[in-house]
């Protein structure tokens, strides 16, 4: 009898030691294991992440997924990252499954505020902590918001377009605007940013206000159709504010058909390989680089703390006008990228020289100082 008790106790001690090691903060433990045991800190809960799609921007799969995965693995927490592929029903199904499978933290990039809110409210009612990642869910209930200063992103786009038009010495340019998805609060903030730069120029007569349209779901194919119609109706468009690199590329494909690429400056956002190559080729005026590693790291830090049952403090907040509340936030700084500083994006490790400087762009890369 004695012996049996001893064996059992030793077994429990060993188990508890093993789990303690697993749950350590050293970051050297296996990716999918959490810690636990009597003397160990409580086992962190699972973290679920839902990304929006893989078409509106390359970033979600090539950058966000990668950096979030790296951060969670380094911390040794259990996580599941899924992509809703633009499907709002699927988005809700994934959220339900994650909660059923034991997620205690849910991080979402919504497809629209309505479905985002439903997901957040349901999670909250089941005691699951929530984070809005990149896009704020208007009227939502997320405990935290992690993103960039999105009005600043738009401001950089507006100022970038002005710089390119000034360099080209275009007089009284007619400006077209292709805004992002009308259901993405970021698209609204980007527009506030660039309209803040462009409106005074329209008002003073320095620039001429041309067509201005939203692109549903940031859909690149629709953007091409929309811009083709804009150009048919107003062939003298001399500058295009496109809200991201995908929309910018759609515009460039249409401009190419008329041999207008390179003559009409086009903006972008996300510093995608395609966007940067368009800049190197001289077809795109600028993009906005958002260091997604910083955004993902900040979000992962919060998620991991929440998974451990902590209530992490952050120093910023954003106002949700629909829910009329201030949401604790972490906002990173965006950077404008022109031909001259494409190299900064490579130096930061966001894109590699190999991806960017394919044979076709080798000379331009050299010219841009990418070694």
Among 19, 35, 44, 56, binds ligand BGC (CB under 6 A): 56
Among 59, 191, 293, 364, binds ligand BGC (CB under 6 A): 59
Quick check: 195 binds ligand BGC (CB under 6 A)?
no
Quick check: 244 binds ligand BGC (CB under 6 A)?
yes
Question: Residue count at the site for ligand BGC (CB under 6 A)?
Answer: 12
Quick check: 137 binds ligand BGC (CB under 6 A)?
no
Residues 6+ apart with CB under 8 A from 341: none
Among 157, 179, 267, 269, binds ligand BGC (CB under 6 A): 269
| H or E segment to which residue 255 belongs | helix 245-257
Q: Which residues of 266-292 are buried (b: 16+ CB within 10 A; e: fewer)?
A: bbbbbbbbbbbbbbbeebbbbbbbbbb
- Least spacing, CB of residue 200 vs ligand BGC, in Å: 25
Q: Quick one: 46 or 135, whose CB is closer to ligand BGC?
A: 135
- Least spacing, CB of residue 44 vs ligand BGC, in Å: 28
Q: Which stretch binds ligand BGC (CB under 6 A): 180-188, 252-260, 317-325, 343-351?
A: 180-188
C-alpha distances (whole Å) from 292 to each of 93, 148, 342, 345 are 27, 9, 16, 11
- Least spacing, CB of residue 147 vs ligand BGC, in Å: 7
Q: Which two tokens stand for residue 49?
A: 């992440």
Scan for tokens 């295009």, then name that residue: 240
| H or E segment to which residue 346 belongs | helix 342-347
Coil, helix or strand at residue 137? coil
Helix ranges (H only) for 48-87 are 59, 65-75
Q: Which stretch binds ligand BGC (CB under 6 A): 55-63, 87-95, 201-209, 248-256?
A: 55-63
Binding site for ligand BGC (CB under 6 A): 56-57, 59, 134-135, 180, 184, 186, 218, 244, 269-270
């Amino acid at each position: 009898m004695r012996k049996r008790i001893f064996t059992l106790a030793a077994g429990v001690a060993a188990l508890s030691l093993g789990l303690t090691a697993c749950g350590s903060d050293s970051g050297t433990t296996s990716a999918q294991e959490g810690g636990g045991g009597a003397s160990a800190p409580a086992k962190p809960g699972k973290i679920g992440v839902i990304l929006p799609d893989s078409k509106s921007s390359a970033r979600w799969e090539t950058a966000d997924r990668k950096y979030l995965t790296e951060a969670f693995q380094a911390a040794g927490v259990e996580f599941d990252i899924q992509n809703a592929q633009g499907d709002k029903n699927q988005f809700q199904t994934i959220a339900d499954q994650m909660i059923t499978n034991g997620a205690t933290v849910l991080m979402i990039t919504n497809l629209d505020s309505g479905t985002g809110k439903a997901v957040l409210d349901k999670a909250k009612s089941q005691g699951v902590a929530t984070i809005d990642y990149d896009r704020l869910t208007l009227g939502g209930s997320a405990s935290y918001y992690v993103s960039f200063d999105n009005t600043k992103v738009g401001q950089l786009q507006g100022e970038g377009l002005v710089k390119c038009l000034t360099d080209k010495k275009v007089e009284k340019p007619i400006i077209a605007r292709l805004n992002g998805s009308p259901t993405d609060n970021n698209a609204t903030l980007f527009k506030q940013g660039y309209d803040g730069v462009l409106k005074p120029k329209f008002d003073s007569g320095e620039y001429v206000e041309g067509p201005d349209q939203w692109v549903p779901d940031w859909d690149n194919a629709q953007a091409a159709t929309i811009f083709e119609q804009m150009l048919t109706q107003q062939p003298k468009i001399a500058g295009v504010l496109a809200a991201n690199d995908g929309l910018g590329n759609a515009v460039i494909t249409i401009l190419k058909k008329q041999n207008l690429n390179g003559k009409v400056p086009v903006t972008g956002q996300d510093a995608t390989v395609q966007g940067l190559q368009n800049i190197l080729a001289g077809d795109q005026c600028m993009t906005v680089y958002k260091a997604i590693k910083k955004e993902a790291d900040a979000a992962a830090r919060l998620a991991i703390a929440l998974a451990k049952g902590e209530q992490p403090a952050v120093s910023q907040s954003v106002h949700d006008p629909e829910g009329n509340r201030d949401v604790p936030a972490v906002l990173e700084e965006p950077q404008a990228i022109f031909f001259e500083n494409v190299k900064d994006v490579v130096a930061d490790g966001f894109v590699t020289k190999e991806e960017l400087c394919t044979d076709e762009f080798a000379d331009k890369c050299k010219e841009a100082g990418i070694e």
